[in-house]
Amino acid sequence: MPDETAEAARAIHEAKTDFDALPLADIPNYQIGRELGRGGMSVVYSAICEKTGEKVAIKILYPYYASNTDLVKRLQREIEVLRRVQHPNIVRYLDSGQRRSCCYYVMELLRGESLEQRIEREHRLPEKEAVRIILAVANGLAEAHRHAVFHRDVKPGNIFLADNGQIKLMDFGLAKDQTDAYQTQLGLVIGTPLYLAPEQARGEQNIDGRADIYALGITLYHCLTGHIPFENLSVPLILTKKTVTAIPSPKEWVPDLSDNVVEIIAAMCERDVSLRYPDVEILIEDLQRHLNNLPATWGRQIAQRRTVVGLPPQPVVTSSILGDPLLRSVIMDSRGLTETLHFPADHVLFFEGDTSKDVYLLVSGEVEALKAGIRIAVLNKPGTFFGEMSSLLGIPRSTTIRTRTEVHVIRIDHNTFANFLKSFPNLNYQLAVMLAERLQKTTEDYYELRNRFRSLARHFSIVHSLLRESEKD
């Protein structure tokens, strides 16, 4: 990993060095001024259009990346979106072109600061002002959605507050057109983790405008509280939390927020897509109603249908789970070593990164293992252990375990796990077999991936040789 990080840093340095050597005067019709900012793939300059005298901004892709088709496509997609979608709350596109290895586009020059900079300076914004900003952005998104364009990276850093009072949504480089097959690959996670909608976190296909509504809701949350849900967690755990839990109430940070704005945020950030605002137009109506001191309608309508948080587990033993002789003996003969529990569906037993070391034995029902919000396994065989690797190795949990149905489990305390295994040698053997099977599966996956990589390397070598021969000819 350190080598990869160093390589990435070298690439960015080379890209910037390469750009600094570029003769900017080669860009026709524009007098280049001072640098306004740099990112990982591009740099923005102020400029004057020689034809009109208008002050503009030019976004230029580093020449180092000119051969990177993915980044070039991203810039071209942004150009195409801005050309098609014209709205007062979206940065205005003016021109674009390519000169030698220099891809660029021209947009209106904005003076002011990003919403992110404003939040950093003031920590949080007054409720009415925050809602006005979000309403303006929602109007811009509504126009984009009418063109079947979804931004997919809405966040304070991509919202500009101009000195003249204008509010502009920027950076459509990750935008998705419904006809864009390039961006519909299964499992492609796109966007900024803290603002990502759960369906984006899971890498689902067919992401629509409701993902933008979720990200805009997190942005409103950030404006009002100065905080972002799950902000202090690792990226994998952030993605999992978005998938399996509701965001915490903003009133935990700012108790005097109105119930109305809290309901709006909850409806915008509902993890169940079917309960989220169905489109931006309905959201706009609620935001306008809030500014007019009227109650939001959508949030009230779905309040009773919103995601239900599971109840605390209650110990239970029923005759239906005593059919298996081994499980029956465990339940009846392990008093003091175990505890039998019942969990409702959609209940998280533990998250990845948790330091608890209890082991669970599945008696009935079905649970799933998640990593970074993505399901990696479903466990439904009675007698299956889970959580055992953490207990045996003394390490944090590597996955999240959530119930898919009502389940009965046996919880085995870490401190008595060894004694438990001694008391039930058959289960001890079953655990050993299970661990061996998982190790075998991991080994097989490793060799399969290694062979695939070697095959790709051979194909690359062949293609490279053919290209060199072609150049000689």
DSSP code string of 312-348: PPEE---GGG--SHHHHHHHHH-BTTEEEEEE-TT-E
The tokens of 327 are what? 């499980």
Q: Which of 299, 278, 262, 283 is nearest to 136 (CA)?
A: 283
Element (H, E) at 371: strand 367-371
C-alpha to C-alpha distance for 459 and 59, rounded to whole angstroms? 36
Q: Which of 128, 141, 83, 140 is nearest to 107 (CA)?
A: 83
Annotated catalytic residues are 153
The tokens of 306 are what? 């919103």
C-alpha to C-alpha distance for 236 and 59, rounded to whole angstroms? 32
CB 403 within 8 A of CB 375: no
Chain-centre distance for alpha carbon 42: 23
C-alpha to C-alpha distance for 290 and 135, rounded to whole angstroms? 10
The tokens of 284 are what? 């706009």
Exposure of 141 in the CB half-sphere (CA atoms within 13 A):
31
